[in-house]
Amino acid sequence: MTGDTAYYQGLVDAAMAPYRWIICADVAAGFTSAVEHFAEIGAPRPLLLAGSPGTGALPDPEAAELIVLGTSGTTMLGGIRAYHDALRHLPASALERIDAWDPDHTARVLTSFLDIEIDVAGRRSWGARPATWMPLEDKTAVAAVWEAAGVPQVESVVVPAAAEGLVAAATRIDRGIGTVWAGDDREGWNGGAEYTRFVLDPLGAGATVEFFAAHCDRVRVMPFLSGVACSIHGMVFPDTVATFRPVEMVAFREPDSDRSRYASVATTWDPSPGVRDEMRAAARRVGDHLRSAYGYRGVFTMDGVATAEGWRPTELNPRFGAGLGAVARSSRMPLLGISRMLVAGEIDGLDAAEIEEITLEAGERIRQLGGLTTIPMPVAATIEQRIELSKGEIRPVPEGGNGLLQLGPAAMGGLVRFTMDPGTVPGGTHAAPVVARAFALADELWGTGIGPLIPATPA
């Protein structure tokens, strides 16, 4: 037992420092601190292969070679898919710059945690999930995973993406407060609630049916669950599964719409002790199943709802999750790097029980609260506003305060990002209403047009 995160950061650094890296970054500004860390550990100057500049400060040109491919999309998912496609069809100008930076072709590739193992300009990726795990992304196939792992679930029905089956399924299993429809992966992996719809009246859901018929072959229909949307993460080792603290998914329904707006994650909300234990036990069982059935290694995410009857899972994401990023920031444990090492089979020195223990303890002490959302309004440069959260109200302040509100560029137009300073919000705080107030302030300050949002409420 080592007792500190510096030991694990040292293991990750030792795996990274000897090599020249192409870092795949859908938004360049999101990797500024990562680039600075490469310089701190004495690694060769990396190349940042980005889709768009993003919101925030860009890396110093002395710290990294930067190539921006200029990808875009009408939604967050569309922007990410466009970037992944561009990595597989790099223009000649990008290939020439990569070869000039790495003339001996010895560089390795760090793909996005959302992507799979790929070659980039003839360079192999390291620690990326294999394509054989991608069938687990299908949101219509998840009930079989819950059943195999012995995880309690609510009834759901998978039907063709056509009106007759969808209306019949929704009518039958509705508990009186609507149903949720989730599409398959015909067009590739999906997330961020973009292929999920809330349906209160299936007979009046013509536009929703048309959406799924255009994009999917199958749709999973399940009852709408009242409670807090939340995730649990597991990390699969060769002989065990580490599990971490639950995180709130900051998600909203939009008035008079079937759409949900996903707005990142937070760790200030606390489920009841019984629900917490239930979530972590479910993650251990699912992790064991993924290892035995798929040879899985590294992090996976289970989303669900903390209901009055307990926690009920809704989907599986076979990849590192944004929620575990928030947990990692509190503990300074390099969980993404550890996950990559597990996938790559470089496990020497990793102690699952200690990683879990250190991360859980720090996550209780230092809470993270924030949210982000995209807007169609084009934004040319980042604008920042310090804010003060006090007694549930948010107001702008000229300096100081305890949080930050930002408006900046994004692949689909603009991005609004809200972050509270770590540790300034006490445990037990339900994050979604706070984030909704922050977005309302962005509308007031900058005319971002987010509009009213309906946060989930604890069961």
pLDDT in tens, 74-95: 888 888 999 999 999 999 999 9
Nearest to 291 by CA among 189, 149, 153, 191: 149
Q: What is the CATH number of the domain that holds 209?
A: 3.30.1490
Nearest to 76 by CA among 185, 198, 220, 190: 190
Task: Identify the band that residue 459 occupies on the pLDDT scale cut at 50, 70 and 90.
Answer: low
Phi and psi torsions of 66, nearest 5°: -120, 125
Specify the range with the lowest mean pLDDT, choosing from 49-63, 236-250, 283-297, 347-361: 49-63
Residue type, 297: R
Last residue of a domain, one of 305, 339, 366: 366
On whether residue 135 sits in a domain, the answer given is no
Q: Are residues 257 and 300 in the same domain?
A: yes
Q: What is the pLDDT of residue 2?
A: 61
Mean pLDDT of 434-455: 96
Q: Are residues 29 and 112 in the same domain?
A: yes
On whether residue 144 sits in a domain, the answer given is no
Q: Are residues 232 and 347 in the same domain?
A: yes
Q: Which residues pair with 421 in a beta bridge?
A: none
Q: Are residues 234 and 318 in the same domain?
A: yes
Last residue of a domain, one of 173, 198, 224: 224
Q: Are residues 255 and 266 in the same domain?
A: yes
Q: Are residues 217 and 318 in the same domain?
A: no
Specify the range with the lowest mean pLDDT, choosing from 156-165, 238-247, 320-329: 320-329
Nearest to 262 by CA among 38, 447, 435: 435
Domain that holds residue 78: 5-128
On whether residue 139 sits in a domain, the answer given is no
Instruction: Give the number of other Cβ atoms within 10 Å of residue 117's Cβ.
Output: 18
Q: Are residues 341 and 252 in the same domain?
A: yes
Question: Can you list the alpha helix ranges (DSSP code H) found in 253-369?
Answer: 273-294, 322-331, 335-344, 352-365
On whether residue 60 sits in a domain, the answer given is yes
pLDDT tens, residue by residue, 222-267: 999 999 999 999 999 999 999 999 999 999 999 988 988 999 999 9
Q: Are residues 251 and 211 in the same domain?
A: no
Q: What is the pLDDT of residue 265?
A: 95
Q: Are residues 349 and 376 in the same domain?
A: no
Q: Are residues 232 and 362 in the same domain?
A: yes
* CB 227 within 8 Å of CB 272: no
On whether residue 141 sits in a domain, the answer given is no
On whether residue 329 sits in a domain, the answer given is yes
Last residue of a domain, one of 205, 224, 243: 224
On whether residue 205 sits in a domain, the answer given is yes
Exposure string of 320-355, with b = 16+ CB inside 10 Å and e = fewer, is bbbbbbbbbbbbbbbbbbbbbbbbbebeeebebebb
Res 3 pLDDT > 70: no
Q: What is the pLDDT of residue 138?
A: 95
pLDDT tens, residue by residue, 290-302: 999 999 999 999 9
Q: What is the mean pLDDT of the chain?
A: 95
Q: Are residues 386 and 306 in the same domain?
A: no
- Locate 66 and state its tokens: 């930067």
Q: Are residues 231 and 323 in the same domain?
A: yes
Handedness of CA 458, 317, 300, 135 (dihedral sign): positive
Q: What is the CATH number of the domain that holds 242?
A: 3.30.470.20
Q: What is the pLDDT of residue 1?
A: 52
Strands 228-236 and 247-253: antiparallel
Q: For the chain, what percent of residues have pLDDT higher than 70?
A: 99
- Locate 245 and state its tokens: 């603290």
Q: What is the pLDDT of residue 91?
A: 97
Number of domains in the chain: 4
